[in-house]
A and B are shown apart, each in its own frame.
Chain A
Amino acid sequence: MAETKTYREALREGMVHEMDRDESVVLMGEDIGVYGGTHLITDGLIDEYGPKRVMDTPISEGGFTGAAIGMAMMGMKPVVEMMTWNFSFLASDQIIQNAAKVRYFSGGQVEVPLVIRGPNGGGVQLSAQHTHSLENLYGHFPGLKVVSPVTPNDVKGMMITAIRDPNPVIFLEAGALYGTKGEVEEGDNAVEFGKARIAREGSDVTLIAYGRQVNLCLRAANTLEEEDGVSAEVIDLRSIRPFDEDTIVQSVEKTHRAVTVQEQWRWFGVASEVAAIIQEGAFDSLDAPVQRVSGAEVPAPYARNLELEAFPSEKQVTNAARRALYIEEK
């Protein structure tokens, strides 16, 4: 059974599903209770579950993230909302120095079953301080898991998996897509981490992305088919750490060409990591250099036209694919 739901509804459904089966799951964050949540993900839940399970916090990211780590070490399963991931820099000492490492430096004596979730990335004119894509930053640290679902079905299923995971999970939501709709499976649709999703099958070139760039790649794939007769495969990574190398390598072995797309800045990004994995795992299959499409190397601007210019566009993706195919750019 599947129903059409928004990304927002599906995300909430994933959390509620786990809250109902496990009392140790609590939600905490800024304005998630009485106010209903800045993005209305948690609207009404405080009435249903009470303030001990749906905790409004002060604007104190380092403090409440650290407290959540402590709760998790005691066997609770907190789901912390970062109102936006931009605020997580204030909590990054807690996330990186405690959540990611305490299991290791305690010699395995503790677990940190913690989820930190919130909208990631830009696209809604929030300008420099409120626009970041942090998958490469958090993906860098052993001890963390990092996921970035883009479909409503995945956001629900991956939230269920994230809450059940005994490790700290950085849950990066496609903030610009909270209102988008898709089919969502009823009940328990847990989606395994570390498995990429083939969002569109194709044979001539592989487009690899995650988050809202997957939708961009799907549009680019349609254009390539219509305008160039090119069959593009689109891979949605979904999970940044752990990472599904096999699906990517197998796809490139089939298509011989790859374009990696990310919203974040080019240097030291996930797209570069994907390109490295392709050359390590599928070097002999490659017929062209791996192409990277990334955000412009500037802080995010405000004006709509500048913002559009700062993020990957469909045209950049189609032209990158054309370069990989040695056909003329448009």
Chain B
Amino acid sequence: MPAEKEHSENGGGVATSSERLVDLYTQMVKIRAFEEACQKGFRQGKIGGYLHVYIGQEAVATGFLDSFKEGDKVITAYRDHAHALLLGTDPKEVMAELYGKGAGMVKGKGGSMHLFDVERGLMGGYGIVAGHIPLGVGFAYAMRYQETDHITQIYLGDGSISNGAFHEAANLAGLWGKDGMCPALFIVENNQYGMGTSVERTTAMTDLAAKFDAYGIENEKVDGMDVEAVLECAERLTEKVRETGKPYAIEALTYRTAPHGAADFFEKYREKEEIEEWRKRDPIGMLEKKLLENDAADEEKLDEIRSEAKELIAEAVKFADESEEPEIDELYTDVYAGADEYTGEE
């Protein structure tokens, strides 16, 4: 039986207090400033490897993580900086990781794609598309097996929907959910492109939320550019999942207004008009408009928020730049756990 669908409309949620909207704005501006600093650091050669920024998608994680409760867990793929910042990791530690420094979140061992802050609930960024989704389902099972009321937020991109790991994980989630043993909220961040290939060019059935119907998982869509709409969804659905122990899926329609990776010329695979249209719906721009219209903030206040964010991120960059590289002995630590930490060195 296909799950019943509800589609949230723009601003369809309960009216959000001005103070709260300003707070969300502050978070989103902080993420944007962080990501722009990352792009700069990458161009300067201070950040190595791959770099995937969240520019354009800020409203999604900001809205959903607003409903995060202590003990909950979050797992995502490699576009993970925003999740770390929103869960409260110090931007200095995040940036230091990207700069490959010992003071980084994972001691300089993972880089941009592998941010972890287990204490705060971030169970990682993962580099293999869809490969992390089964882990999130396992977290959710464990939460009920251990008799807690925590839930797991599993973030996945539109690109992962065509991968077997997604389908196997969704099948297990639906199955275990029948017994109330899978409190997982699947958040599909549909930014329209898996690298350079659009959703239409990867699957004949482009309603990504509806893919979950096949696994008995209720689902709906939300405008992922409208943080208020996301917020409403997040509050309602996290509580539903927490209460029932059943998974739920939400497709957040969003758009990456930056390239996939830092070295990607994205005009090659997108129409200029399309980019311009989506930029009009930039989540930060739309929220600014709303704040001004509702007298929740004036230009001066917004300026203040923007410059505070820039200052905070500038400090993070400075910290990362000046931090020491990891101790060379760190190469061999954390391979194995336990008293007999075996290093692999014979």
Q: Mark A residues whose CB is within 8 Å of B.
A: 26, 52, 57-58, 60, 62-76, 93-94, 97-98, 102-113, 142-143, 145, 165-167, 194, 242-243, 245, 277
Task: Select which of B105, B136, B338, B346 is within 8 A of A165 by beta carbon.
Answer: B338
Give the residue name and chain of the B residue nearest to A111 (CB): B337
Contact present for A64 and B136 (CB under 8 Å): no
Q: Does B317 contact A (CB under 8 A)?
A: no
Contact present for B172 and A107 (CB under 8 Å): no
Contact present for B135 and A109 (CB under 8 Å): no
Say whether, besides A73-B139, A74-B138, A98-B135, A57 and B128 are in contact (CB < 8 Å): no
Chain B residues near A64 (CB-CB < 8 A): 134, 168, 172
CA distance A67 to B75 in the complex (A): 13
Instruction: Scan B215-257; emit 1 where CB is below 8 A from any A CB, else 0.
Output: 0000000000000000000000000000000000000000000
Q: Does B175 contact A (CB under 8 A)?
A: yes
How near does chain B come to A23, taking the closest CB pair, in angstroms?
Answer: 9
- A-B contacts, 14 of them at CB < 8 A, read A57-B172, A58-B168, A66-B138, A67-B134, A69-B138, A70-B135, A105-B114, A105-B124, A106-B114, A108-B337, A110-B118, A113-B337, A142-B344, A145-B336
Chain A residues near B110 (CB-CB < 8 A): 105-107
CA distance A66 to B131 in the complex (A): 8
How near does chain B come to A242, taking the closest CB pair, in angstroms?
Answer: 5
Give the residue name and chain of the B residue nearest to A66 (CB): B134
Contact present for A97 and B334 (CB under 8 Å): no
Chain A residues near B172 (CB-CB < 8 A): 57-58, 60, 63-64, 67
Give the residue name and chain of the A residue nearest to B110 (CB): A105
Q: Does B342 contact A (CB under 8 A)?
A: yes
Contact present for B134 and A75 (CB under 8 Å): no
Contact present for B128 and A93 (CB under 8 Å): yes
Give the most central of A69, A70, A94, A243: most B CB within 10 Å: A70
Say whether, besides A26-B145, A70-B142, A73-B138, A109 and B118 are in contact (CB < 8 Å): yes
Give the residue name and chain of the B residue nearest to A108 (CB): B334
Contact present for A167 and B105 (CB under 8 Å): no
Say whether, besides A71-B138, A73-B123, A109-B106, A63 and B336 are in contact (CB < 8 Å): no
Q: Mark B residues whose CB is within 8 Å of A.
A: 73, 104-110, 114, 116-118, 123-124, 126-128, 131-143, 145-146, 164-165, 168-169, 171-172, 175, 181, 333-338, 342, 344, 346
How near does chain B come to A130, taking the closest CB pair, in angstroms?
Answer: 21
Contact present for B124 and A70 (CB under 8 Å): no
Chain B residues near A105 (CB-CB < 8 A): 106, 109-110, 114, 116, 124
Chain B residues near A245 (CB-CB < 8 A): 346
Give the residue name and chain of the B residue nearest to A109 (CB): B118
CA distance A63 to B118 in the complex (A): 23
Contact present for A70 and B128 (CB under 8 Å): no
Task: Select which of B73, B114, B146, B171 is within 8 A of A60 by beta carbon.
Answer: B171
How near does chain B come to A30, taking the closest CB pair, in angstroms?
Answer: 13
Task: Select which of B123, B134, B168, B333 is within 8 A of A110 by beta carbon.
Answer: B123
Give the most central of A65, A72, A93, A245: most B CB within 10 Å: A93
Contact present for A66 and B118 (CB under 8 Å): no
Task: Select which of B104, B114, B135, B143 is within 8 A of A66 by beta carbon.
Answer: B135
Contact present for A66 and B116 (CB under 8 Å): no
Task: Select which of A52, A73, A243 is within 8 A of B346 by beta carbon.
Answer: A243
Contact present for B135 and A106 (CB under 8 Å): no
Chain A residues near B107 (CB-CB < 8 A): 107-108
Contact present for B146 and A75 (CB under 8 Å): yes
How near does chain B come to A102, taking the closest CB pair, in angstroms?
Answer: 7
Contact present for B334 and A66 (CB under 8 Å): no
How near does chain B come to A32, taking the closest CB pair, in angstroms?
Answer: 15
Chain A residues near B337 (CB-CB < 8 A): 103, 108, 111-113, 166-167
Chain B residues near A145 (CB-CB < 8 A): 336, 342
Contact present for A62 and B145 (CB under 8 Å): no
CA distance A142 to B344 in the complex (A): 6
Chain A residues near B175 (CB-CB < 8 A): 58
Say whether, besides A63-B169, A110-B116, A104 and B138 are in contact (CB < 8 Å): no
Give the residue name and chain of the A residue nearest to B141 (CB): A71
CA distance A165 to B139 in the complex (A): 20
Say whether, besides A66-B131, A70-B135, A98-B126, A103 and B168 are in contact (CB < 8 Å): no
Besides the known contacts A58-B168, A104-B109, A243-B346, 10 further A-B residue pairs in the complex with CB atoms under 8 A apart:
A58-B171, A58-B175, A62-B134, A66-B165, A73-B138, A93-B128, A94-B134, A105-B114, A106-B114, A165-B338
Give the most central of A67, A112, A166, A167: most B CB within 10 Å: A67
How near does chain B come to A257, taking the closest CB pair, in angstroms?
Answer: 23
Task: Select which of A74, A102, A110 is within 8 A of B146 by beta carbon.
Answer: A74
Give the residue name and chain of the A residue nearest to B114 (CB): A105
Task: Select which of B133, B139, B164, B336 is within 8 A of A74 by beta carbon.
Answer: B139
